[in-house]
Amino acid sequence: MKRSVLRLPDELHEKIKAAAARERRSVHNQIVCLLERALAEQTSQPGAIVAPDPSRPGHPVLVITELSDLRGPAGGKIVLPSRLYPEPAGQVFDLDEPWLLREAYQVVLTESAAAHDLATWLNAARLIQAWPELYLPAAVRQAWQDVHPVLTAVGPADS
């Protein structure tokens, strides 16, 4: 992850600060989200932020910048690709069963290496609903809640 120092005009900084407050994000996360959103519009791909996971070196956390980009199935049966869930191959997850939805979402949130995977396999409404019950590494939970404070508002986590 690269660090950069930005010098912003006071007026622009105040606008970003106000937008961050509305979204309940830090100014830093708001700037990153704005940059990702702008790039996503150019590439027609969902934007994502990469955050480090100290507990899993070399395996960063991927967070989609806009929950509205999560347009995966809200119900029914799915089979995750082997790059996300290699064993057992062809495992069927019935998203109408809460425990299977949680298992599938935990896998996608921890194993996705591309924003496309997050957008394809997660559904925003179901993610928000299931969030308090997902068992996730602390860095994954924190990164997602930093970018999407609505997840913090849905209730306490058990992990």
Give residue 35's pLDDT. 73
Residues ≥6 apart with Cβ < 8 Å to 148: 63, 67
Cβ-based neighbours of 78, under 8 Å, separated by 6 or more? 92, 93, 95, 104, 121
Q: Compute the residue count for the chain.
A: 159
- What residue spans define the domains of the chain? 10-153
**Mean pLDDT, 10 residues at a time, the chain of 159 residues:** 72 84 75 69 70 80 92 94 84 95 96 91 97 95 93 64
Q: Does pTM surpass 0.85?
A: no
- Burial degree of 144 (CB within 10 A; 0-12, 13-18, 19+): buried
Q: pLDDT at position 158, please?
A: 45
Please report, as a single letter, which amino acid is at residue 89.
A
Q: Residue 159's pLDDT is what?
A: 43
How far is the C-alpha of 48 from the C-alpha of 116, rounded, in Å?
A: 9
Locus of tokens 């950069």: 4
Residues with Cβ within 8 Å of residue 90, at least 6 apart in sequence: 79
Q: How many whole angstroms separate alpha carbon 10 and alpha carbon 25?
A: 19
